Structure 1
Amino acid sequence: MQNRPTVLDRFLSYVRLDTQSTWPSSTRPSTPGQIVLLRQLVAELQGLGLRDVELDDGGIVMATLPSNLPEPSSGRRPVVGFVAHVDTSPEYSGSGVNPQLVRDYQGGDIVLDERLGVVIREDENPHLLTYRGHDIVTTDGTTLLGADDKAGVAEIMDLLTRLVDDPTIPHAEIRVAFTPDEEIGRGVDTFDVERFGVDAAYTVDGTGLGIIEDETFSADGATIEIEGRAIHTAIAYGRMVNALQVAAALIEAWPADERPETTRGREGFVYFYQLEGTTTKALLRALVRDFDPADLERRGQRLLALCNEVERRFPGSSIKVVIEEQYRNMKQILDEHPHVVELACEAMRRAGIEPKLDAVRGGTDGSRLTFMGVPTPNLFNGCHNYHSPTEHVSVQVMNRAVDALVELVQLWSEPRSESSL
């Protein structure tokens, strides 16, 4: 067995690379830093001896670990895939990430930057009560960490390393894919499902220990173009229509109890996340979210109606709205393939982890892959407080995630009836 990097070694290497995605962008990936990491992964996969290692024109890396099952068994087993994304959120800086390792955490708050007041507070993060004795990777308080989803990338790479180094672990053919631009909803825009060639897959992009997400939001994106009327402020009385003021009125008019910061559980929302413009023209972007597609449709119609109402309040203004589908709740499809989630639950139990089914208030590459014909629930990677400077991950939980993946590939290698595939 070679002296391989650990899951922590890989993770620290990955997070130091700036792979933040950005919108809008006409390139794929949207930022050059993602290509740097994707090329590094190609080299690492080749170093492990995987086959069919390829970085395609869309910025997606795919590779194959061949089956080690004796013939003819290998030809009758389904192919399973694992997917993670390399980009980090554009919501907070991912440049100059300086990871910190809190060894043997013994409880209490974790102060990241006293001057800036950036603290991981124990009372806001109850999972820390179970992390006594863990080694926790944090930021220095000035950037996000990138555990979303570089923890998942590192865990998939560590899974492959374990399987390559220990041929006694039985597994059928395994395919892996690393995608760019997931955070801006473009992760699988060019994903070739036929080339991936799997019966089912799992994204490793979840949260705490044991979480299996088999349900996501249904999601649309709204682009709102507002036109005003400019004139010199000296003679603006009764004549100027400020497009930025119209945008502000629209944001303010949306119900305060239907926003991300005031909703939880299965409650939907509209999130106005970007505004740019001048008096003459403003561009406002929003996310529309609900678990039920019918509720999503109704929420979108209410947003359209509100735009019409605000337009009437500002004579001389013009508001144009385009609502586009982003992804849909994958549960309706996953329920048709219950074995995919059941095997993940059993794998965790075999690894000594209590599985917890959950609905994620967001989406994954798997949301879209599921509707593209590849049932793809989401598995935990250990990340907490993603998209923020208090993002952190336990090294021990990352290793437990790999343990669960090792059990999962073995379960997929076991014979089962054709009807369950």
Structure 2
Amino acid sequence: MQHIIDRFISYVTVDTESDPNSDTTPSTEKQWDLANQLVEELKAIGMEDVTIDENAYIMATLPSNVEHDVPVIGFVAHFDTTPDFTGANVKPQIIENYDGGDIVLNKEQNIVLSPSYFKDMLQYKGQTLITTDGTTLLGADDKAGITEIVSAMEYLIQHPEIKHGKIRVGFTPDEEIGRGAHKFDVAKFGAEWAYTMDGSQIGELEYENFNAAGAKITFKGKSVHPGYAKGKMINSMLLASRFVAALPQDEVPERTTGYEGFYHVTGIEGSLEETTVKMIIRDHDKEKFEARKKKVAEIADEISNDFMEQFGEPVAIADIKDQYYNMKEKVVPVIHIVDIAEQAMKELSIEPIIKPIRGGTDGCQLSYMGLPCPNIFAGGHNFHGKYEYVPAESMQKATDVIIKIAELTAKKYNG
């Protein structure tokens, strides 16, 4: 397990934060640092056909070691980290034989990781936890997934007695800003199905996710001297406030769970003459998803209509764009690929937790691009912030699941 810990730390200490405001792929130049490191490591462990394209998409092959035909399967993870919290100068802390109590991440700033708030920690008592130092995120999302895929491939290469078909691995940039699969060459990857290693706690197995859209609502105002503004001034910031207040107040991330969808305002920026509201729209149900998008447009239109006579043109313009869709539609017809993963977990004494993803992965888009792609746990908790942690044992178990899936797939298609 120390080998897995060392590999994981070698990844998370490389800053790979992506940037939604960039038009390049990858969105940040620093993502190349880890991408190039991974290419060399894949070659070093003995993978074949290791490639990296002009957009930093990495692919590699582990050839089959059986005579019979086995479908080509794949494993996918992303190497960027979220721009929501800094990923620069990550200094992981290793807590061996966790005692179930508080973990002081940063004494000077009084930052404490406590099971009184994060109750999931208690299920890892006695294990080795890897945490942040309280000033950065950790990057287990999704460098834990990369660690597990590389470690599993290395193990299979070193243990040829474990029989498997051809396996493809793929590592992507920019997943955290919704572009991870945008330039993924499914035909070149050449797998019949794949698994993203991008879930959270041990046992997670997911093939349902949100339908997702992003929205930018622009509010136009009129600037007039406040002393003479009656009937003339339009304050775009107040229009934006009215819009936010008109959204269903209980249908937000902090008040929803399970299959419940939400509206989530992610940013507001503006002045008297122009204000923009950025938000995301999520729902598992396609009809409810469409209704949510319609609701946003209707609120904007209502505000515009109220000022049309005074302003002469719309004062609220909603630009709504779909981001990804629920992979369930593409995975259910080939549900055996979920069954194989579930069986792998059970044979390893891992209780499968089959539930919908309240988010998305590269697998969501890949499934609609012709590569059905359920999601498997990578082991981390509290992603995208300073309280992020991952049990080393969970990364080991995820590695074992990959190996077992490869083995079970070869057995399933043997005669």
Q: TM-score scaled by structure 2?
A: 0.95
CA distance in 1, matches of 2:408, 2:38: 26
Q: Is 1:113 the counterpart of 2:110 in the alignment? A: no
CA distance in 2, matches of 1:245, 1:158: 54
The residue aligned with 2:53 is 56
Query: 1:392 deviation in Å?
Result: 0.5
Query: 1:312 deviation in Å?
Result: 4.1
Matches within 5 A, 1:94-133: 94-133=87-126
Q: Is the 8 A contact 2:195 2:375 kept in 1?
A: yes
Q: Which amino acid aligns with 1:203?
A: T
The residue aligned with 2:253 is 260
CA distance in 2, matches of 1:223, 1:183: 18
Would you say how many aligned residue pairs link Structure 1 and Structure 2? 411
CA distance in 1, matches of 2:141, 2:399: 16
Q: Is the 8 A contact 2:196 2:375 kept in 1?
A: yes
Q: Is 1:181 the counterpart of 2:174 in the alignment? A: yes
Matches within 5 A, 1:351-366: 351-366=348-363
The residue aligned with 2:161 is 168
The residue aligned with 1:149 is 142
Q: Which amino acid aligns with 1:169?
A: I
Q: Which amino acid aligns with 1:202?
A: Y
Query: 1:363 deviation in Å?
Result: 0.5
- Deviation larger for 201-210 or 234-243: 234-243
Q: Is 1:298 the counterpart of 2:291 in the alignment? A: yes
The residue aligned with 1:228 is 221
Query: 1:236 deviation in Å?
Result: 4.2
The residue aligned with 2:304 is 311
Q: 2:343 aligns with which of 336, 341, 346?
A: 346
Q: Which amino acid aligns with 1:21?
A: S
Query: 1:7 deviation in Å?
Result: 1.5
Q: 1:134 aligns with which of 120, 127, 136?
A: 127
CA distance in 1, matches of 2:22, 2:271: 21
The residue aligned with 2:84 is 91
The residue aligned with 1:68 is 65
Query: 1:116 deviation in Å?
Result: 3.8
CA distance in 1, matches of 2:232, 2:221: 10
Q: Which amino acid aligns with 2:96?
A: R
CA distance in 2, matches of 1:417, 1:232: 80
The residue aligned with 2:12 is 15
Query: 1:111 deviation in Å?
Result: 2.3
CA distance in 1, matches of 2:298, 2:65: 59
Q: Is the 8 A contact 2:209 2:326 kept in 1?
A: yes
Cα–Cα, structure 1 residues 232 and 45, in superposed 2: closer, same or farther, change >3 Å? farther
Q: Which amino acid aligns with 1:358?
A: K
Q: Is the 8 A contact 2:46 2:154 kept in 1?
A: no
- Deviation larger for 274-283 or 373-382: 274-283
Q: Which amino acid aligns with 2:330?
A: I
Cα–Cα, structure 1 residues 99 and 236, in superposed 2: closer, same or farther, change >3 Å? farther
Cα–Cα, structure 1 residues 6 and 140, in superposed 2: closer, same or farther, change >3 Å? same
1:159-194 per-residue CA deviation (whole Å, 9 max, x = no partner) reads 111111111111111100001111111001111110
RMSD: 1.8
1:17-68 per-residue CA deviation (whole Å, 9 max, x = no partner) reads 1111111221111111111111111111111221221111222111111111
1:83-128 per-residue CA deviation (whole Å, 9 max, x = no partner) reads 0011111111112211111111011222223454432221333322
CA distance in 1, matches of 2:397, 2:366: 26
Cα–Cα, structure 1 residues 116 and 243, in superposed 2: closer, same or farther, change >3 Å? farther
Q: Is 1:409 the counterpart of 2:409 in the alignment? A: no
Q: Which amino acid aligns with 2:238?
A: Q
- Deviation larger for 242-251 or 176-185: 242-251
Cα–Cα, structure 1 residues 298 and 51, in superposed 2: closer, same or farther, change >3 Å? same
The residue aligned with 1:28 is 25
Q: Which amino acid aligns with 2:129?
A: I
CA distance in 2, matches of 1:294, 1:90: 31
Q: TM-score scaled by structure 1?
A: 0.93
Helix, strand or coil for the counterpart of 1:202?
A: strand
Q: Which amino acid aligns with 1:285?
A: K
The residue aligned with 1:273 is 266
The residue aligned with 2:397 is 400
CA distance in 2, matches of 1:41, 1:118: 33
- Deviation larger for 161-170 or 244-253: 244-253
User: 5+ residue gaps in structure 1?
Assistant: none
CA distance in 2, matches of 1:244, 1:195: 48
